[in-house]
Amino acid sequence: MSDTTGPENLRVYGVLVRDGQVLMSAETVAEREVLKFPGGAVEPGETPEAALVREFDEECRLVIKPVALLHTPGTLFSPWIHKPYTPIFYAVSGDGTPSSPDHEPLDVQFMEPEKAIDSGLMAEPDKIALSRAIALAENYK
């Protein structure tokens, strides 16, 4: 018998690299300050790509387009929420200035990739996705 429920706690994140900087979301997750990419849960009946477009609109007020799949590490155990989650990372494109709505407890801003990685606030899968997004951006210069 096959499992038709799908991956556990499916999450989708977008890596937006623009002018050598990456869009990061500074948030508090389980009482811990973290840096992550905009994104969130894939709702039932929603594709990961549609969820990503929705999440960017909700969190950053940006219209984006998924460009390439960057990283699918499988189901992991989150050191932040102490539960399994299944992240999917995409490179995305989009114009405009990000701004988080008042009801979203996060701060979205472009920053130098090295600063984000060196902050100690990023999860390992996010670092891998960022490295791949930077390499992809370099190929299209």
Q: Where are the domains of the chain?
A: 10-139
Per DSSP (E only), the strands in the chain are 10-15, 17-18, 21-29, 32-36, 39-41, 64-71, 76-77, 84-94, 106-111
Instruction: Give the tens place of pLDDT for each residue, 24-36.
Output: 999 988 888 999 9
pTM of the model: 0.91
CATH placement of domain 10-139:
3.90.79.10
Is the confidence at residue 2, as pLDDT, over 80?
no
Q: How far apart are the C-alpha atoms of 56 and 59, rounded to whole Å?
A: 5
Tokens of 88: 């999917």
CA distance 109 to 22: 8
Q: For CA atoms 12, 77, 70, 122, give the dihedral sign.
A: positive
pLDDT digit string, tens, across residues 43-67:
999 999 999 999 999 999 999 999 9
* pLDDT > 90 fraction of the chain, expressed in percent and rounded: 77
The CA-based dihedral angle spanning residues 93, 97, 100, 101, taken in that order and rounded to the nearest 10 degrees: -120
Say what the pLDDT of residue 105 is: 79
